[in-house]
Amino acid sequence: MKKQTHRPVARLRLHLLGSPQIVLADAPLTALRSRKSIGLLAYLAVTGRPQTRSRLAGLFWGHLTSAAAANNLRVALHRLKKRLPGYLIATRSTVAFDRESDYWLDVEQIAEAQPLAVGSEENIRRLDEAVSLYRGEFMEGFFLDDCPEFEQWLLLERERWQRGALHCFRRLIGWVTNRRDYDTAIAYARRLLEIAPWHEESHRQLMRLLALTGQRSAALAQYYRCRRILAADLGVAPDEHTELLRRRIIHEGNGTVSSLFPSAPSSAGQWEADSGRSLSDVRSHLLNRLTQAAARAWEEYRHEDTLRFLAAALSLTYEYEDERRWELLGIQEQVHNFIADRVAQKA
C-alpha cells in the first residue's frame, strides 16, 4: 500500500469502512451506480497490485461464458475510466489501480497504524485518527449475489480490517493506561466493544479499568452485560478468567483494587497479553523469575504443591476459596494472581 503523508485532501477519497462512499473533488460520486463497478474499483484499490483480465472477469462475471465475461469487464472498465480518469492502468492483459495517483483510502490508515510500537504523542494521535475511520465493517451492506468468489473476498477483508481496528484500539488502551489517563482508556474500551461486543478479553479490560477508578458497581454491571452478550450471540458462558476477575472485584470492594490492576502495562505487548502489572518494577522482575522457575518445576510438583512451594518460598500462606478455578488457569496467570493477592493481603 502507498505510504500516506500529510498533504492536502486527496482528489479521490475511498471510504470503504462502513457503507462504501466514493468522493471525487469533494463531492460524492453518484454517477457510479453499477454495484459491480464499485466492487471492481474497491477490489483493485485494496489489493494494490495488477490483476489479470481473466481473473477479474471470472471474479465478477463467472456465471457467463468467457467471451461475455470479458466483454462485461471491458464495459465496466470503460465506465470507471470515464468517471475516474487517471486512476486505472489497463493493458491488454492486466488492470491495476494507480498507486501514484492523487487518492486516499481509509483502510490504508488502519494498515499503517498497526505497526506503531511506541506510545508517543504523535503515535497516539495517529492511532486515534485511524480508529475514528472505522465506521463499520468493510463495505458494510454491500453484496453481489452472483459473485461467490468476490463475496468470499469481502468476508476475508471484513475479518481483516476488524482485527486491525481491534489491534489499534487495544494498543491505544495500553498506551493511555500507561499514562494513567484512565477515563480515556475507558472511552476507548467502550468504543472497542461497540465494534466487537463478543470480545470477552476486552470486557475484562473494561472491568479492570472501571474497578481501578473506583467504579466497582459499573465493573460488575459490565460483567453481567458481557454474560448476556456471550449467551445471546455465542451460546456460551464467560470463561474462567472473567469469572475469577468478577470474584476479585467483589472481594476487594471494601478495600484497595491495586492487585486488580495497580499500575498500567509497561508495554502494549503486556496489555495485549491481558495480564497487566500488579507489582512494582522490582516485584515484576521477581515475578518473571518465579514464573520461569514454576514452569520448570511443573513436571516435578503437582498443581497444588507448586503453589504451596511458591508460598513457602515467599513465607506466605496459600489459601483460595475456589481452588478449582486455579486448575483452569495457565501457570503464568496462576503465579501472577497468587502473588498479587498475597501482596495485597500483606499490605
Instruction: Give the three cell numbers for residue 129.
Output: 485518527
Q: Are 51 and 95 in contact (CB under 8 A)?
A: yes
Question: Crossing angle, helix 53-61 and helix 35-47, to 10 degrees?
Answer: 140
Among residues 279, 253, 285, the alpha carbon closest in space to that of 265 is found at 279
Spell out the per-residue pLDDT of the chain, length 347, in tens. 554 444 557 899 999 999 999 999 999 998 888 999 999 999 999 999 999 999 999 999 999 999 999 999 999 999 999 999 999 999 999 999 999 999 999 999 999 999 988 888 999 999 999 999 999 999 999 999 999 999 999 999 999 999 999 999 999 999 999 999 999 999 999 999 999 999 999 999 999 999 999 999 999 999 999 999 999 999 999 999 999 999 999 987 644 454 555 444 444 444 444 433 333 444 444 555 555 555 555 444 444 455 555 554 554 444 443 434 444 444 455 555 555 555 555 54
**What's the grid cell of residue 215?**
467504579
Cβ atoms within 10 Å of 158's Cβ, excluding its own: 16
Axis crossing angle, helix 331-346 with helix 281-297, rounded to the nearest 10: 130
336, 329, 325, 208: which is closest to 262 by C-alpha?
208
Q: What is the pLDDT of residues 308-347, one digit of tens each?
A: 555 545 544 444 434 344 444 444 555 555 555 555 555 4
Domain borders along the chain are: 12-158, 197-274, 278-347
Residue whose C-alpha is closest to residue 337's, from 240, 253, 219, 216: 240
Predicted local distance difference test score (pLDDT) of residue 8:
59
pTM assigned to the model: 0.69
Q: How far apart are CA 248 and CA 43, in angstroms?
A: 48
Measured distance CA(268)–CA(123) in Å, rounded: 13
pLDDT digits (tens, 9 = 90+) for 210-231: 999 999 999 999 999 999 999 9
CB 97 within 8 A of CB 151: no
DSSP 145: T
